[in-house]
Amino acid sequence: MQDLNQIVNGQKLFQKPEYQEVLKGKKEFEGMPSCDKISEVSDWTKSWDYREKNLAREGITINPAKACQPLGAVYAALGFANTMPYVHGSHGCTAYFRTYFTRHFKEPTPVVSDSMTEDAAVFGGLKNMVDGLQNCLEMYKPEMIAVSTTCMAEVIGDDLQAFIGNAREAGAIPEDFAVPYAHTPSFVGSHITGYENMMFSMITQMGVAGEKTDRINLLPGFETYIGSIREVKKMAEMFGPIVTLGDVSEQWDMPAGNYQMFAGGTTVADLKDSINSKGTISLQKYASKKIMKTLKNKYKQETHVSNPIGLKGTDEFVMGLSKLTGKAVPAELTVARGRLVDAMQDSYPYMHDKKFAIWGDPDFLLGMVSFLIEMGAEPTHVLCHNAPDGWEAEMRALLDTCPAKDACHVWAGKDLWHMRSFLFTEPVDFMIGNSYGKELERDTGTPLIRIGFPIFDRHHMHRYSIHGYEGGINLLSWIVNKVLDKLDDETKQTAKTDYFFDLVR
CA 301 to mean position of chain CA atoms: 27
d(CA 172, CA 124): 18
> 289 and 192 in contact (C-beta within 8 Å)?
no
d(CA 181, CA 87): 10
Please tell me which residue in 8, 22, 41, 155 is annotated as part of the active site.
155
Active site residue 68: no
Name beta bridge partners: 357. Answer: 381, 431
List Cβ neighbours of 465 (8 Å cut-off, separation of 6 or more).
Answer: 225, 227, 228, 230, 231, 471, 474
**Nearest CA-CA partner of 186 in 417, 419, 386, 435:** 386
Name beta bridge partners: 431. Answer: 357, 448
What number of other Cβ atoms are within 10 A of residue 86's Cβ? Answer: 25
**What is the greatest pairwise CA distance in the chain?**
83
SS3 sequence of 336-398:
HHHHHHHHHHHHHHHHCCCEEEEECCHHHHHHHHHHHHHCCCEEEEEEECCCCCCHHHHHHHH
**Nearest CA-CA partner of 364 in 220, 164, 217:** 220
d(CA 411, CA 388): 12
d(CA 218, CA 321): 10
Active site residue 151: yes
State the Cα angle at 352 between 347 and 356, rounded to 5°. Answer: 105
Alpha helices in 8-90 (DSSP H): 10-13, 17-29, 35-44, 48-56, 69-78
Phi first, then psi, for residue 371 (nearest 5°) are -65, -40
d(CA 469, CA 310): 7
Sheet of 112-113, strand order: 112-113, 83-88, 144-149
> 251 and 78 in contact (C-beta within 8 Å)?
yes
Please tell me which residue in 112, 136, 151, 480 is annotated as part of the active site.
151
- The one-letter code for the residue type at 270 is D
State the Cα angle at 36 between 33 and 38, rounded to 5°. Answer: 55
Name beta bridge partners: 38. Answer: none
d(CA 232, CA 239): 12
Active site members: 151, 155
